[in-house]
Amino acid sequence: LILSMGGQLPNNIAMALHRQQCRVLGTSPEAIDSAENRFKFSRLLDTIGISQPQWKELSDMESAMQFCSKVGYPCLVRPSYVLSGAAMNVAYSDSDLEKFLSSAVAVSKEYPVVISKFIQEAKEIDVDAVACDGVVVAIAISEHVENAGVHSGDATLVTPPQDITPKTLERIEAIVHAIGQELQVTGPFNLQLIAKDDQLKVIECNVRVSRSFPFVSKTLGVDMVALATQVIMGEEVEPVGLMTGTGIVGVKVPQFSFSRLAGADVVLGVEMTSTGEVACFGESRCEAYLKAMLSTGFKIPKKNILLTIGSYKNKSELLPTVRTLERLGYSLYASMGTADFYTEHGIKVKAVDWPFEENDSDCPLKEKQRSIMDYLAENHFDMVINLSMRNSGGRRLSSFVTKGYRTRRLAVDYSVPLIIDIKCTKLFVEALRQIGMAPPVKTHVDCMTSQKLIRLPGLIDIHVHLREPGGTHKEDFASGTAAALAGGITMVCAMPNTIPAITDPSSFALAQKLAEAGARCDFALFFGAASDNVGTLTSTANAAAGLKMYLNDTFSNLKMDNVSLWMEHFEKWPKHLPIVAHAEKQTVAAILMVAQLYQRPVHICHVARKEEILIIKAAKQKGIQVTCEVAPHHLFLCLDDLKRIGETRGQVRPMLGTQEDMNALWENLEIIDCFATDHAPHSVEEKNDKNAPPGYPGLETMLPLLLTAVNEGRLTIDDIIMRLYENPRKIFSLPVQENTYVEVDLEQEWIIPSHMQFTKSKWTPFEGMKVKGAIRRVILRGEVAYIDGQVLVPPGYGQDVRKWPTGMVSVPRPVAAKEILKTPERHRPTAQSEIIRSRASSPRRTGPTGDGRFHLPPRIHRASDPGLPAFRKHAVMTSWGPTMTAAEELKEKPAKKPAEQDLAVTQDGYLYPPPLPRMPSPQNVPMQMLPHPQTSPLLHPLIGQHVLSVKQFSKDQMSHLFNVAHNLRLMVQKERALDILKGKVMASMFYEVSTRTSSSFTAAMYRLGGSVITFSESTSSTQKGESLADSVQTMSCYTDVVVVRHPNPGAVELAAKHCRKPVINAGDGVGEHPTQALLDVFTIREELGTVNGMTITMVGDLKHGRTVHSLACLLTQYRVNLRYVTPRNLRMPSDIIHFVASKGIKQEEFDSIEEALPDTDVLYMTRIQKERFDSIQEYNSCFGQFILTPHIMTTAKKKMVVMHPMPRVNEISVEVDSDPRAAYFRQAENGMFIRMALLATVLGKY
C-alpha cells in the first residue's frame, strides 16, 4: 500500500494497517505515527534540537488554564490527526478556552489534544519535500502572505518565497534535512514553520503530500509527486535540492463561498473555511496575486473604496497603503474612527456612519450622511477593506454582533469585493500600483503544456531560393516565408538567381520591393556576382546580405568559371561584407586559394562531399578564414535514396553524395559552421520532367529532421542553436530579432507527408521519413507568427533586416561551455538554450535535457499574444547555473576532522544536525561508515554500573534510554550494520528457563557487533556445588558484562557485590525484573505516544509477578492511574502498594476485567505462575479466572493496547492476536531494542 498520496485519512489508519501485517511502501507507519502524534513529534524535535512553540497535553480544565496563564494568551487548542484544522481554535481568554476545549474533545476524543502558545505577528512557512531513506532530495518552500494563524487552505501562498532571507532559507533547509533524517522519510512530507524575530519554530510535520504539492510542482518546474513515487518504488533519483523555480512566481489564493452561507462571518482562522483554491503565475508576486484574485471573481475597484480598520496598530501600518490608494485616484470612504485617523494624517477621506447605531441628535452631521448600509445597497462601493480588532484565530460568538461582522456580511450579501486581512490589503494595493488594471495574459507565463516543449531563438536560414521575381509558380515571398515560419525559421537570406538575376541596383530594388510586400518573416537579399558587375555594386552593397558567387553549374546563368573574375570581385567587394561561394570539389580548393591571397573570409555553401569537408578542415587548421554550411538533404540523404525519390526528382546541386560522403559530414560536424536548407523549390511537373531542374524544397522539414537527430543522440539542441542562430548572425553580421523565439515539441512523432503545407512545391524528398520533433509556435517580434499549423502574420509583416538601425547588429558573445552532454558518437560542449514552461518534468522522463540555459532578450507581446505593453519592459532574469545539492556538496568537500563533525547548524540556541549525504544501499554500507555515537551526559551514571533495580533510573534517564532504543530500532529496520560493541563479550547466565529475555539479550549483543558466552547451570560447576557469586565472578573474568537470572529474590544483587564487571538483573524470582519494566514503559510510549495521563490495568498474578512489581514502581515517575484485577490471594504486595501510594499515584482494585476495561488505556495481562505455588490445588483455584476474549475486547477503547510479558498460558485467547490493539509481540520485539540500548550504555558505547 502507498499511504502518502491520499491525504490525512490514510495516515490515520497507518498503524492499524501496519498491525494487520499490511505492507506499506515508503515511510514506515511508525515514522508516520511519530510525526502525527504530538507527544512523539515533540520528543523528536527535542532530540534533534529544533525549536517548537510551548505546548502541553490537555488533561483537565484547571491545568489547561494554568498553562495558558503561564505562557500567556492567545493559545491554540490543537488535536492530533485532524483534517482542515477541525476543532482547532485560538483562545484569547479563559472563557474562550473553556468553549473550545469541549469542541476539541468531541471531535477526537481518543487522540491526544494539546494546547500550544499561539505566536502572533509571525510569518508562516510551508515546506514540501521528498526524501529517500531519510536523505532529502527535493525541497520547495512557500510563504504565507497572511500572518501565522490562518489555515494553509485559507492562506495566500507564494512560491518561490519573496521575503525570506538567504540565511533563513539555510536554516529552513537544515531543519528539513534533520527532520527527514530523524523520521527516515521515504517519499513526500510537508513541514509548517513559523518565523518571528529571526527565530524558526516547527508547528507540525505531515508525512504525506500536501495540498501545495501540485502548486509548487507546476510553479517550480519539478514534478515532486513523480519524484516521490520513484523514491517509494526504490528507484534511484538525482537530488534536486532547494528548488528556486524558473523565473516565475506562483500565488495561490482561497475561494470562499460565504455568499451561499447565510449569516456566516467572513473571518480567517486556524480552522479551514475556504471551498476551493486558485493559483496563477506571474513575472512578479504582484502580477500573480492580481491574476489569482481576479480568477476567484474579485473585481478591481474603479472608483470608491470603503475602509473600516479596527485597531490603531493596523491603521498605522496601513497608512502608506492608504496614501497609495489616494495617489491612484480612488475616492476613499471610512467609518468614523478610521476617517478621523487618516484625515489627521492629511489623507482625503469621507466619513460614513455605521448603519447599526441610533441617530444621535447631538451630531447633526450624522443626520445628513447616508449610512454604510445605504451605500452598500446602492453598490456605491467598489471594494471594502475591513480589518477586525483581531486579525486571525478562532471564531467568537461575540463576533456575530459586532459592527465589523455586520459590515462584512453586508459586503458579501451585496457582492462587493471584500478584503479582511492587512497583509493581503497591502499586497493588493501594491499590485494595483504596479500593474494597474487587469494584467494581460502572457502565454509564456500563464500557459503550460503537457508536451516536452523547449524554446529556441528565432532561427536563421542563410540559403533559400524564393524564386521571385520570375518564378512565382515555383515559390514567392509570401509562400516561401510562410513555409519558413512553419519550419521555425524567422529570418531568411534570399539568393540572387532569380529572373532577372539580382546583379545591379535596379534588380535589387525590384526584389526588395517584392519582398517587403510579400514576406511574412524577416529577410535579407544577396547580390549575385557576374562577369559584368565588378565594382558596380559598391554603392548599394551595404543593403545586401552579401555577395553570392556561383563557381559551378546550377539553376542559374550566373556561373563564373574565370578565376580572374573571382579575384576582381574579391578585390572590389567591401571587406566588411561577406562573400559566399557555390563551390564543389576542386573548385573549393581554388576559391580558398583566392581567399587566402586576398586575406579575407569566404563562406562555402552546401558542402556535400568528403573531399570538400576535409579540404575545409585542413584550411581551418592552417588559419584560413573559411566557414561553411551543410544542407539537411546532404546530411540525411545519399545516392542510395535516389531509387525511392526518383531519378528526375532526385536532381539537386550539389548532387547527393555517397554513404561515405554522408558519414564524413557527420564525423566532421565540428567543422560545419551552419545548417542551411538550400530551399530550391520547383513544381511537381518540372521535377517529373526528364530535364528536371535541380533543387529540393526544405524549409518546413529541416528543423524536424535535426530534432530527430537530437532525439537519436547524433546532435544536441545547442548544435542546432549554434548553426542556425549564433554562427549565422556572427558570419553575416545579422541583427537580433527582439522578442522572437520558436517553441518546439521534442517528443511528437510524425511521418513526413508527400508534400508540406505552405511551400508551392508540392513534393518533398523526405516523404515517408519518420521524425520526432515538431514546431508548435513561432513568435516574431512579439507577434504569434505561427501556431499549430497556422501562419497568422500577413504578407508584408516581414522586414528587411539591412534597413534596421546598425546599432541592432551585435555579434553574440561566445558562450562558455558549462557542461558536456554525452551522445553516442561524441562529446561536445553545449551552448545555452531555454526550456519552455511545460508540465513539471518527471524524473522518469529522460531524453535530450540540459537545454534550459539559453536566455532570450526580454519579450514583448502584442495583440495576438497579449502581454506587457511596449512601454513597460520587465525582464525576468533566471539563474540556470548548476546548483550543488547538499549531498553533492558534502562529496566535493574534504572529509572533516573528528572535532569538526560535531559541529552543526545552530539556530535559536538549538543544535541542528547538518544535511547528510545519501547513504548507499544497506547491503553495501561498510561498518566504518556508522560512527560510534556519544553517550548522553544523563546516561553517564549508568556506564560501568550494575543494573539491578528500576529505582536506580530517573525519568530523564529513561527518556534518553528510550531515544537510544528508538534510534537503534531504526538502524536495525534499515539493516544498518552496527559495530558499537565489536570486541565486547556478554555472559548469559540463566538459572531459570527463559525464551524472550535470554534470546533478546543474546540478539541485542549480536546486533551490536558483540559476542555471547552462554552459561548453562546443568553443565556448569554449579553441579559440583559452586556458588552463584563464584560463578558470576568467574564469568566476569572472560566477559565485559554479565546478565543474570535467578529464582531467588535478591540473589542477583548479592552476586553483583563480588563482581568487577557490570551485572544486569534479568529477573530474580518474585523480586524485580528491571529490563522488562523498561521495555514495558517503552512499549506504552511507542504505542500511545505518552505514558502520562494513562490508566494502566494489571491483571493476573500480581503477588508473584516480578514484571508488575518493577513496572508499578517505574510508573510512579509518570502521572498515571493504576488498576488491579487479581484473585484475592494474589494481590499486589503491600510494600509495592505503599510505595506507589507514597508517590501520589491513584490505585484501584476491580473484581473483573469487564468492570475495569472501558476506561483502560493499557491492559497488562500476566499468567498465573504455576511454579510459584506450594500446591497444585492452590494453583487450580486461581487458574482461569481472568481470560481476555474478543467479546470482552468489544468494550475497550479503540486505541487501547494489550500487553503481556509472556509466556501466556490461557489468559489471552489466541483470537485476540489479530486485534491491532494486541501489542504483546511488538512488546517482545521492543525488548531487544531496550536491551541493545542498555548494553551499549552500560559499556559506555552510546
Supply the residues annotated as catalytic.
996-997, 1024, 1045, 1073
What DSSP designation does 679 have?
B
| Residue 675: CA count within 13 A, CB half-sphere | 28
Dig out the grid coordinates for 644 from the structure.
525511392
Contact 854, 877 (CB under 8 A): no
Largest CA distance in the chain: 135
Instruction: In whole angstroms, give the CA distance from residue 717 to residue 454.
Output: 9
Closest listed residue to residue 732, CA positions, set 512, 488, 458, 546 = 546
Contact 143, 164 (CB under 8 A): yes
Closest listed residue to residue 48, CA positions, set 240, 209, 205, 243 = 205
Closest listed residue to residue 703, CA positions, set 896, 458, 443 = 458
φ, ψ at 184 (rounded to 5°): 50, 50
Between the alpha carbon of residue 266 and those of residues 123, 262, 418, 423, the distances in Å are 22, 11, 9, 16
Continuous segment of H or E residues that includes residue 572: helix 563-572
Instruction: In whole angstroms, give the CA distance from residue 835 to residue 854.
Output: 8
User: What does 1-40 look like in DSSP terms, one character per residue?
Assistant: -B-TTS-HHHHHTHHHHHHTT---BSS-HHHHHHHHSHHH
Contact residues for 10 (Cβ-Cβ < 8 A; gap 6+) = 3, 4, 208
Closest listed residue to residue 88, CA positions, set 103, 74, 98, 73 = 103
Residue 1019, classed as helix, strand or coil, is: helix
Closest listed residue to residue 1000, CA positions, set 1222, 1245, 1230, 1205 = 1230
Give the strands of the sheet with 790-791, arranged side by side: 790-791, 783-787, 770-780, 741-751, 453-457, 834-835
The residues with which 605 forms a beta bridge, in sequence order, are none
Instruction: In whole angstroms, give the CA distance from residue 940 to residue 938.
Output: 6
Contact residues for 464 (Cβ-Cβ < 8 A; gap 6+) = 480, 484, 492, 493, 494, 495, 676, 677, 678, 679, 699
Instruction: Indicate left, alpha or beta for 625 from its phi (over 0: left) and psi (-120 to 50: alpha).
Output: beta
Contact 308, 409 (CB under 8 A): no
Contact 397, 122 (CB under 8 A): no
Dig out the grid coordinates for 687 from the structure.
521535377
Instruction: In whole angstroms, give the CA distance from residue 55 to residue 919.
Output: 35
Burial of 999 (0-12, 13-18, 19+ CB in 10 A): middle
Instruction: In whole angstroms, give the CA distance from residue 1057 to residue 1046.
Output: 15
Instruction: In whole angstroms, give the CA distance from residue 574 to residue 538.
Output: 7
Provide the 10 A C-beta neighbour count for residue 463: 26
Instruction: In whole angstroms, give the CA distance from residue 99 to residue 368.
Output: 43
List the Cα angle 262/265/271 in 5-degree steps.
115
Total residue length of the chain: 1246
